[in-house]
Structure 1
Amino acid sequence: MPDSGPLGSSHREQRPTPPTAVPPSLPSPPSLPTALSSPPMAASVVRETPDLRAPTSAVPDAPDTRAAGSALQGVLRGPTGLGTSSLDLAGRYKYKPPLPDPVSAAPAPPAAGRAVPGLYYHPVPEPDPVRVEEVSRRIKCWAEDEVQLYPEEWEGQFDGFSVGRYMVVCHPDAPTVDHLMLAARLMVAENAVDDCYCEDHGGSPVGLGGRLLLAHTALDHVHTTAEYTPAWRESLTSDAPRRAYHSAMDYFVRAATPSQTDRYRHDMARLHMGYLAEAAWAQTGHVPEVWEYLAMRQFNNFRPCPTITDTVGGYELPADLHARPDMQRVIALAGNATTIVNDLYSYTKELDSPGHHLNLPVVIAEREQLPERDAYLKAVEVHNELQRAFEAAAADLAEACPLPAVLRFLRGVAAWVDGNHDWHRTNTYRYSLPDFW
């Protein structure tokens, strides 16, 4: 599973199970300001998300990726040349932090952390520190006060996850901190489920399906008889992961359109199916073929995060555009590439932990009988091919369907891909690279 749990430590030793006391009730999410509306775009293309206070086939051939990087840069950065600045949607809608005080106007040094040598990636600007600090403060208050997510002894691990930096660097066009918090709560909740049900903190593959199914009902509500509804409602506060899912989804549903909400539920079902495949292999001791592992990773990956980039940006990519096969390919490739980034950066962390953990270098080494170093370097090349395929697919879609909503969504997904790598690179609390160079 993506090694990105907010409760995850630098090693995967067993931890006490999370608190299970049922709080009296979850506090209702506060009403959010009307300033969350996005900048205006063409009404025929983009449907604005509701005010946050409202109630609640064919197998594609491998693409030619040789010119993908330069083509995608045109999508991301917009047109250039005299008189084209007004056409630059990325510049128009990107969040612009306040100008720094003249005394501290010198450029800040890049954040610590070494990139995987040979990895194909794009550097990103340092995220706005004011936003990072505010998201970090709010998400910790939510975790501690609203959902009682972790016991006091796990506080350092939560802080080391660096949620604030992660969200700000991945969503540069979010209009407000309230928008960033929509993604932050869901990210933390997703990884609490991963940690507490599957891995680091008392998780196990045994019985995982039942736990995931009941947790999923916090995202996709049960519609049953009057006699049994109260018991289901009570179950939503019965453990930390379900409290987190329930609360985070409540905020999200009130901010998103119905189609965005259903899209997210669908992607979370995909994620949970991937968890179950990996758990089944763990129970039987099966080491999958490389292609089988990559198929599992298309489901057990980061896809739910970039797919909500329009909600976090304060606009909507209409459902018919999101459902296009070429858009689905872009999103799938983005999820696949970013998840292999996780495999590469968490490699030594997983080797140092008890048990046998599947990641791409391990599977390549075992299935293709390669030394650890050669398997790791081959995994880097797998990532690079996926990243270039993502960029080629995004560039092709931008050319085929150059609508403002499509272009903005593609920029948002690409920003998430780049920001996800930056977070892994800079999170030296969690990750260190193997000594293969």
Structure 2
Amino acid sequence: MPDPGLSPLQSSLPAAAARFGAHVLAHAHASGTEAAAGDARPALPSGPALPFVPVFGAGAVPATAPVPGEPVAQHVGEGAAAVRRPSPALERILSGPSGLGTAGLHPARREEPPAPPAPEAPVEGHPIPGLYYHPVPEPDPARVEEVSRRIKAWALDEVELYPEDWEGQFDGFHVGRYMVACHPDAPTVEHLMLATRLMVAENAVDDCYCEDHGGSPIGLGGRLLLAHTALDALHTTKEYQPEWAQSLHSDAPRRAYRSAMEYFVRQSTPSQADRYRHDMARLHLGYLAEAAWAQTEHMPEVWEYLAMRQFNNFRPCPTITDTVGGYELPADLHALPAMQRVIALAGNATTIVNDLYSYTKELASPGRHLNLPVVIAEREGISDREAYLKAVEVHNDLMHDFEAAAADLAASCPVPSVLRFLRGVAAWVDGNHYWHQTNTYRYSLPDFW
């Protein structure tokens, strides 16, 4: 696949406000939201639009999530509001300009010509019964294959990330499918690679410093601090600078952080790069809290565990959705308290998805792994099954709060870059669930139903 190189950051259109459901669209329409034209550049074919996602009534959680191709109403629990869809006129407004010569005004432009639709393959794995989620289209197989090829070459040749006997685990992670599902509006494969390298580097640090491959809570703070300097460079004297620079190549996690961040900085704005560093500091703080509890054998209260998980979570991934999409959410809009709430809820919900899908994997691992069902069972004195089902409810509450907060922000601040960013975060949330559900190499469900 030829690589056309990165396109410059560009302004965006609110073409995807429909991601948040009919009520968001109605608010935006009432507020006078208008599609704004982006940069007039040579047109490339746009990627597939994300499906419209219905909004369920307050407090209503479908017993099972909607299945693609089946009427949504069959999957809505009792008491849920009827599915409301935008009017055809409103859909036309929010879909952006159409007709001859308008293709270049759409944000989700891609370098490949559109492939003919492939026959639908059955989705691997089973979703957790009762979990609130939105199905997503199967990721573009051509993109998945190319991202998978490039990331493996990067891991092996550029950063020497893992020895040969880890190759099966690397392949089984299916990071190419993960990132393509989470970033459907990425204009090029190289934009996808920005997220993919960072994801692989983050997992290398987690595995090698904290968990599966030699990780330990003892001395973790020192290791994380030195690794963080690969993201947030050390500024010191000329005498000591070379020793620090050499240290960035001393182990696989630091090599991966350094290289992935160099690629990211070349394509992102200074504000986006600094935002990412901040979120990685949050992540590392969460790692340290969990390690401290492991050393002291502390079983946190449920609220304490959820506080830790707000930091030790996926937040750095969805917050770079604008860089991966080839545009920028301005720093002042990213810093809005309402936007910070949306991002935090998205990170919290996606992380509880990980707790639920990795539950049996962690139980089979040596030692005691903290996850939400384990903490609920211990602290609230209920059975493992009851605790797991309650953790599903916690996830669903977080998802409903995330969608409500995003809808409120879309209605109150219908700025094109805000609407596109909210859509990108929502796409990441849905793609994250898709990857967990379909990654049967890593995950299997407990026998609680």
TM-score bracket relative to the smaller structure: 0.7 to 0.9
Aligned partner of residue 112 in structure 1, secondary structure: coil
* Equivalent residue letter for 1:82: A
Aligned mate of 2:88, from 78, 81, 90: 81
**Cα 1:90–1:260, aligned 2, differ >3 Å: closer, same or farther?**
farther
**Cα 1:161–1:255, aligned 2, differ >3 Å: closer, same or farther?**
same
Is residue 46–residue 315 contact of structure 1 (8 Å, CA) maintained in 2?
Answer: no
Aligned partner of residue 435 in structure 1, secondary structure: coil
In 1, distance between residues paired with 2:96 and 2:341?
23
In 1, distance between residues paired with 2:329 and 2:118?
38
In 1, distance between residues paired with 2:365 and 2:313?
21
Is residue 47–residue 317 contact of structure 1 (8 Å, CA) maintained in 2?
Answer: no
Question: Once the two structures are superposed, what CA deviation does each residue of 1:131-158 show, in whole Å capped at 9, x if it has no partner?
Answer: 0000000000000000000000100100
Match of 1:122 in 2: 134
Aligned mate of 1:194, from 177, 202, 206: 206
Q: Does 1:247 align with 2:254?
A: no
* Equivalent residue letter for 2:407: A
Is residue 131–residue 168 contact of structure 1 (8 Å, CA) maintained in 2?
Answer: yes
Match of 2:17 in 1: none
Aligned mate of 1:208, from 215, 220, 233: 220
**Cα 1:35–1:356, aligned 2, differ >3 Å: closer, same or farther?**
closer
Match of 1:340 in 2: 352
Is residue 210–residue 220 contact of structure 2 (8 Å, CA) maintained in 1?
Answer: yes
Is residue 289–residue 367 contact of structure 1 (8 Å, CA) maintained in 2?
Answer: yes
**Cα 1:127–1:156, aligned 2, differ >3 Å: closer, same or farther?**
same
Aligned-residue offset at 1:200: 0.1
Q: How does 1:20-419 map to 2 (within 5 A)?
A: 33=4, 35-37=6-8, 40-41=11-12, 65-66=58-59, 80-82=87-89, 84-85=91-92, 87-88=94-95, 92-94=106-108, 98-101=113-116, 105=117, 107-419=119-431
Q: Quick one: percent identity of the two aligned structures?
A: 75
Aligned mate of 1:425, from 417, 426, 437: 437
* Equivalent residue letter for 1:348: T
Question: Once the two structures are superposed, what CA deviation does each residue of 1:90-117 show, in whole Å capped at 9, x if it has no partner?
Answer: 994345774445xxx5631232110000
Aligned-residue offset at 1:84: 4.3
Match of 2:446 in 1: 434
In 2, distance between residues paired with 1:272 and 1:47?
37
Question: Once the two structures are superposed, what CA deviation does each residue of 1:199-229 show, in whole Å capped at 9, x if it has no partner?
Answer: 0000000000000000000000000011000
Is residue 334–residue 340 contact of structure 2 (8 Å, CA) maintained in 1?
Answer: yes
**Cα 1:395–1:241, aligned 2, differ >3 Å: closer, same or farther?**
same
With structure 2 as the length reference, what TM-score do the two structures score?
Answer: 0.80
Is residue 11–residue 327 contact of structure 2 (8 Å, CA) maintained in 1?
Answer: no
**Cα 1:304–1:83, aligned 2, differ >3 Å: closer, same or farther?**
closer
With structure 1 as the length reference, what TM-score do the two structures score?
Answer: 0.83
In 1, distance between residues paired with 2:144 and 2:386?
38
In 2, distance between residues paired with 1:218 and 1:46?
38
Is residue 338–residue 420 contact of structure 1 (8 Å, CA) maintained in 2?
Answer: yes
Match of 2:24 in 1: none
In 1, distance between residues paired with 2:426 and 2:144?
20
Aligned-residue offset at 1:88: 1.9
* Equivalent residue letter for 1:217: T
* Equivalent residue letter for 1:221: A
In 1, distance between residues paired with 2:334 and 2:244?
32
Aligned-residue offset at 1:37: 3.0
CA RMSD in angstroms comes to: 2.5
